[in-house]
A = this chain, B = another copy of it.
Amino acid sequence: MDTAITPGSRISFETSPDRYRHWKLSVDGPVATLSMDVQEDGGLSTDYRLKLNSYDLAVDIELADAVQRFRFEHPDVHAVVITSLKERIFCAGANIFMLRGSSHAAKVNFCKFTNETRLAIEDASENSGIKFVAALNGICAGGGYELALACDEILLVDDGNSAVSLPETPLLGVLPGTGGLTRVVDKRKVRRDLADVFSTVAEGIKGKRAVEWRLVDAVYPTSQFKERVARRAQELARLSDRPADGSGVQLGPLTPKVTDDTLHYSNVRLDLDRQRRVATLTVRAPEGPEPSTPPEILAAGDRFWPLRTFRELDDALLRLRSNEPLIGTVVVKTEGDPAQVLAIDRILTEHAAHWLVREITLLIKRTLKRMDLTSRSFFALIEPGSAFAGTLFELALAADRSYMLDDPDRPNTIALSPMNAGPLKMSNGLTRLETRFLADPEHAPEVLAEPEPFDARAAHDAGLVSFAPDELDWDDEVRLAIEGRAALSPDALTGMEANLRFAGPETMETKIFGRLTAWQNWIFQRPNAVGEKGALTAYGTQARPEFDFRRT
């Protein structure tokens, strides 16, 4: 069992355009272009070369960063063209040698992050007024096509050679697991039998047939391609409600203080107890008055508390996932003055229509979804001095359980705000309160209408916390709960949490993480894929895969 995690192997998810190695970013009026030009030796590891615009996590971290920066730094960007600088190749998908060399957990984490990045693209389209055009100027295979599927429109060059394809099943014995199978039938609504053919034909589908099957929106001859792409991007840009001009806010580096067992940001702190396999995640409320008007918020930029705090939380969650596999349980705490959080919530609510406030709220929403999808148990501890109010109370709602100290001598309250009533929906399309109170849909509006904060007894009676032990029981009850959790099978907990957290409706987004991902994770363990003679193992070698043909 490899428990040693050397600092050198830790992945950082922070980057910035001046450090990009794989993407070129250019802005021309309302249309930006993000061009993939993967450096073969620029992957996270030197064990593989990223040929033919294939990608690994390093490439995707830059993509996620670029999409984030368009939102915050370039409010005047209204459409983004995603294309390639390589001749005749758009993108060959996830690098197969990288996948083959990755541990099971690394494969799963890689797919989760790339899925989140593609969903962030769709979130920007749906909620931020930034439309995306995939300009496929060459071969577009596997994960390359899955990236295209996340865009609003897919335009393919008609050069007699360039095709779109999902060759994972026929060539590698795995699934197009970055949303591919789901988006083909659920987003693009390709007929299921045609999707079946498409997903088993390694060479893919090109030209007119790709349009007829709804795999792409249009094909254009090479001579017209650039111009048609540019024209379409301009048309889509005109649909945006983003500002016509004006500058955005720069997203500076987060510069956490990293020690062997802490990650210390300005408002977020992660303390690791590897021996107990428990981390404590602490989020601090604002210390004093924050900017309250859009001009003030623009001026404060990335120092504005909610933007800074949720960027930090997002980064902490990503590092935890990738770098701390042995931490199975996360104790979630908050500190500070709940009134300051509620003041922030009033600002976010009052100026919700302002582009920057909207972006900040969407970032909070995506970060909380990242927490929902993190395969760790979260237990919220609500103690005197905590600030579980409004937006920060979502952390308790996202947790698997919450414990609130009921000590009459030490006041301890939680509070709701309009931020709990809609802007921070889960991936199932419901708020966390709605999901929590599925049995009684009237109850969420009832608790939201309550003007006063809830003390422990009231919070418990209202169903807002799981348990409210008194001061005599608190220490033992909390300790036993955490110790008990840390003793259970980590795999069973991952599966259990993936089921219990997403009650209610499923959406395309939850289908990607539920149905598709769970099947892909199953296949990622099958000898027919990863065994000595499995297809993923055999790919690119002289050997042909040998299957155990028994169906499961």
- Hey, which bits of chain A sit against chain B, CB under 8 A? 1, 104-105, 108, 168-170, 172-175, 181-182, 184-186, 188-197, 199-200, 214, 277, 325-328, 375-376, 399-402, 435-439, 463, 466, 484-486, 488-506, 510-511, 514-516, 518-523, 525-526, 528-529, 535, 545, 547-552
Contact partner of A185 (CB less than 8 A), chosen from B108, B438, B519, B550, is B438
Contact partner of A528 (CB less than 8 A), chosen from B182, B191, B492, B506, is B492
- Copies held by the complex: 2
Cα separation A435 to B193 with both chains bound (whole Å) = 11
Is the Cβ of B523 less than 8 Å from the Cβ of A525? Answer: no
Min distance, Cβ A517 to any Cβ of chain B, angstroms: 8
Cα separation A184 to B515 with both chains bound (whole Å) = 19
**A375-B551, A526-B525 in contact; A193/B466 too (CB < 8 A)?**
yes
Min distance, Cβ A2 to any Cβ of chain B, angstroms: 8
Contact partner of A193 (CB less than 8 A), chosen from B1, B168, B193, B401, is B401
Cα separation A326 to B551 with both chains bound (whole Å) = 6
Is the Cβ of A495 less than 8 Å from the Cβ of B466? Answer: no
Contact partner of A182 (CB less than 8 A), chosen from B192, B499, B520, B549, is B499
Interface centre among A199, A277, A401, A489 (most CB of B within 10 A): A489
Cα separation A282 to B326 with both chains bound (whole Å) = 53
Is the Cβ of B495 less than 8 Å from the Cβ of A522? Answer: yes
Min distance, Cβ A198 to any Cβ of chain B, angstroms: 10
Residues of the B chain whose Cβ atoms lie less than 8 Å from the Cβ of A463 = 191
Cα separation A432 to B169 with both chains bound (whole Å) = 25
Is the Cβ of A199 less than 8 Å from the Cβ of B168? Answer: no
Is the Cβ of B552 less than 8 Å from the Cβ of A104? Answer: yes
Is the Cβ of A548 less than 8 Å from the Cβ of B1? Answer: yes
Min distance, Cβ A350 to any Cβ of chain B, angstroms: 31
Residues of the B chain whose Cβ atoms lie less than 8 Å from the Cβ of A438 = 185-186, 189
- Name 22 A/B residue pairs within 8 A (Cβ), A-sorted: A1-B548, A105-B550, A169-B493, A184-B500, A185-B503, A186-B438, A189-B503, A193-B399, A193-B402, A196-B497, A197-B466, A200-B496, A328-B549, A375-B552, A490-B547, A492-B529, A494-B519, A494-B552, A506-B510, A506-B511, A521-B522, A525-B525
Is the Cβ of B552 less than 8 Å from the Cβ of A492? Answer: no
Is the Cβ of A522 less than 8 Å from the Cβ of B516? Answer: no
Residues of the B chain whose Cβ atoms lie less than 8 Å from the Cβ of A501 = 192
A192-B500, A193-B400, A327-B551 known; 5 new pairs, CB 8 Å cut-off, are A191-B436, A192-B435, A325-B551, A325-B552, A514-B515
Is the Cβ of B496 less than 8 Å from the Cβ of A199? Answer: yes
Cα separation A492 to B326 with both chains bound (whole Å) = 30
Is the Cβ of A535 less than 8 Å from the Cβ of B489? Answer: yes
Cα separation A525 to B492 with both chains bound (whole Å) = 11
Residues of the B chain whose Cβ atoms lie less than 8 Å from the Cβ of A514 = 506, 511, 514-515, 518
Min distance, Cβ A524 to any Cβ of chain B, angstroms: 9
Cα separation A170 to B483 with both chains bound (whole Å) = 13
Residues of the B chain whose Cβ atoms lie less than 8 Å from the Cβ of A181 = 496, 499-500
Is the Cβ of B505 less than 8 Å from the Cβ of A519? Answer: no
Min distance, Cβ A545 to any Cβ of chain B, angstroms: 7
Contact partner of A503 (CB less than 8 A), chosen from B192, B493, B525, is B192
Min distance, Cβ A35 to any Cβ of chain B, angstroms: 31
Is the Cβ of A196 less than 8 Å from the Cβ of B552? Answer: no
Q: In the complex, which residue of chain B has the Cβ closest to the Cβ of A545?
A: B489
